[in-house]
Amino acid sequence: MGLNLSEKKAVVAEVAAQVAGAQTIAIAEYRGIAVGHLTVLRKKARESGVYLRVLKNTLVRRAVVGTPFAGLADHLVGPLIYSVSADPVAAARVLNDFAKTNDKLVLKAGSYAGNVLDKAGVQALASIPSREELLAKLLGVMQAPVSGFAVCLAALAKQREEAAA
């Protein structure tokens, strides 16, 4: 049974609200995926803070009008699942990781920072380390000189101690 006009307006408003706070949208064709597999995908999306939903393409077209994601309108064809996130990488990563284990999920396109991405672009975006990973690497780089300096000081102190004795 289809949605009536008020239900369609509610869906468009909900999607528009998600899109307004998003940095990335990734879309994939889900034809032939079992319900159990989609449930696993939805669970991973929730854990990553990603809004994941199967939507009518016409409703999404209305929701993205006037946003940086309006360029995706040409790619909204077929049975699609939409992944939307405020994290620049999470939406692409959730779909890309799932597509690696399930060949029936086919990445179609995406959009980040006002640029429309093809399948390769979505995969490249998904391969970028998360913010937490990047911060951890930065912290490691920043701590390396300090810890090296501390080792040098300890060695110098030991050397002076031996010289004094």
- Residue-wise pLDDT for 9-30, tens only, equals 998 899 889 888 889 999 999 9
Nearest to 51 by CA among 90, 84, 96: 84
The pair of three-digit structure tokens given for residue 78, joined into one six-digit string: 């077929």
- Per-residue confidence (pLDDT) for residue 66, from 0 to 100: 87
Instruction: Return contacts of 8-11, CB within 8 angstroms, 24+ apart.
Output: 8/59, 11/55, 11/56, 11/59
Mark the ranges of the chain whose per-residue pLDDT is less than 70: 1
Give the global pTM: 0.76
